Amino acid sequence: MYLTRSSLKKLLSIFSLILLCFFFYADNANANARNSITVGTSTTMPPFGLMDKKNNKITGYSIDYVNAVAQAAGLQVREIKDYLWKDIFNALYNGEVDLVASSVTVTEARKELMLFTLPYFTNHLTLVVHKNSSINSFADIARKKIGATAGGSIASVGIPRLNPNATVVPFESIGFAAEALRLGEIDGFVADELLALFYAVQSPHYAKYLKIGAVDTAFDQFAIAVRIDDYYLLDKLNEAIEIINQNGTAEKIYNDWFN
C-alpha cells in the first residue's frame, strides 16, 4: 500500500491527536487521584487510634486530626487502613497508603526514610509498672525486662536512651505488654504518655493492677508521615495544618479528646 505525503501527514496528525488525548486523560486522572488520600493508622495506639467496636469504625485523636487537615487541604479521605505497628511504615513505602497518621514520633533516623509534616502533639515517654513494684525511676529498670511495641522507636531508641542496661521485650501491641505485666511476665513497659495513662489510670481492667513508675522529662513530637519523595502532599498538608491551627479547629479536636 502506497501512502502519499498528504495521507502520511493526516495519519501523523491523527496519531498526535490520540497521544494528546491520552496524556490529557492521564494527567486528569492523576490530578483526581491526588485529590484523595488513603490513610494508614494503628488501632493498637489509643487514644490516637482505636476501634469503635460499637460502630465498627476506626476513630481516635489522630484520625479526627487528619480528617480536619484533609478537609482544609481540599482532599478526600478515600480509606483508613488499620495496621499493626510493625507493618505500618512498609504500607507507606510500598504505596498502600499515602500517609501515616498515628502516634508517629519524629526521629532523625526516620527523617531519612520519610517526610514529616509540622508536628501536632508533644509526648513524654512513660514507664508503667505493677502496683506491687518498687520501681519508681528509669534508673531502676537496669537488668529488668521492659516491654515496648515491636518495630517502634521506643524499643529501638527510647528505652536504650532511658537506661541502656534494660532488657527490651517487644510486643505486637502495648495491650499485650499490659497483659504480660499484669501476669508478672515482665517488669514494666514504656509507652507514649497518653497510652500509658490509658492502661495505668483509665482502663477498668488494668488500672487496678498497674501504676505509673516514671515519666521522662525530655519530650518528642508526633507528626503525619508521608513518602520520602511526596513533597506535593507534604506541602498541601502543612498549609492545611497552618489553617486549622489558626482557625481553632486543631485546638477544638485536642480539647475534645484530652480535656
CATH number of the domain that residue 57 is part of: 3.40.190.10
Q: Are residues 66 and 100 in the same domain?
A: yes
Q: Are residues 203 and 232 in the same domain?
A: no
The CA dihedral of 137, 138, 142, 144, to the nearest 10 degrees, is 80
Confidence of residue 41 (pLDDT cuts 50, 70, 90): very high
- How does strand 220-222 pair with strand 121-123? antiparallel
More confident residue, 16 or 109: 109
Domain boundary among 218, 235, 250: 218
In a domain, 171, yes or no: yes
Q: Are residues 41 and 114 in the same domain?
A: yes
Contacts of 20 (CB under 8 A, 6+ apart): none
More confident residue, 27 or 147: 147
pLDDT tens sequence across 166-222:
999 999 999 999 999 999 999 999 999 999 999 999 999 999 999 999 999 999 999
Q: Are residues 161 and 197 in the same domain?
A: yes
In a domain, 134, yes or no: yes
Q: Is 81 left (phi over 0), alpha (psi -120 to 50) or beta?
A: beta
Question: In the predicted model, is pLDDT for residue 6 greater than 70?
Answer: no
In a domain, 5, yes or no: no
Question: What's the average model confidence in pLDDT over 43-55?
Answer: 91
Q: Are residues 207 and 240 in the same domain?
A: no
In a domain, 17, yes or no: no
pTM of the model: 0.77
If residue 258 lies in a helix (H) or strand (E), which one and from where to where?
A: helix 249-258
- Domain housing 145: 125-218
In a domain, 13, yes or no: no
Q: Are residues 54 and 92 in the same domain?
A: yes
Q: Are residues 100 and 133 in the same domain?
A: no
- Mean pLDDT (the chain) is 90
Q: Is 170 left (phi over 0), alpha (psi -120 to 50) or beta?
A: beta
Q: Are residues 60 and 86 in the same domain?
A: yes
In a domain, 64, yes or no: yes
Give the residue among 130, 184, 147, 172 at the shortest CA–CA distance from 45: 172
Compute the distance between CA of residue 169 and CA of residue 174 in angstroms, rounded to an integer. Answer: 11
| Domain tally, the chain | 2
Compute the distance between CA of residue 164 and CA of residue 88 in angstroms, rounded to an integer. Answer: 26
Q: Are residues 100 and 139 in the same domain?
A: no
Q: Are residues 100 and 207 in the same domain?
A: no
Question: In the predicted model, is pLDDT for residue 146 greater than 90?
Answer: yes
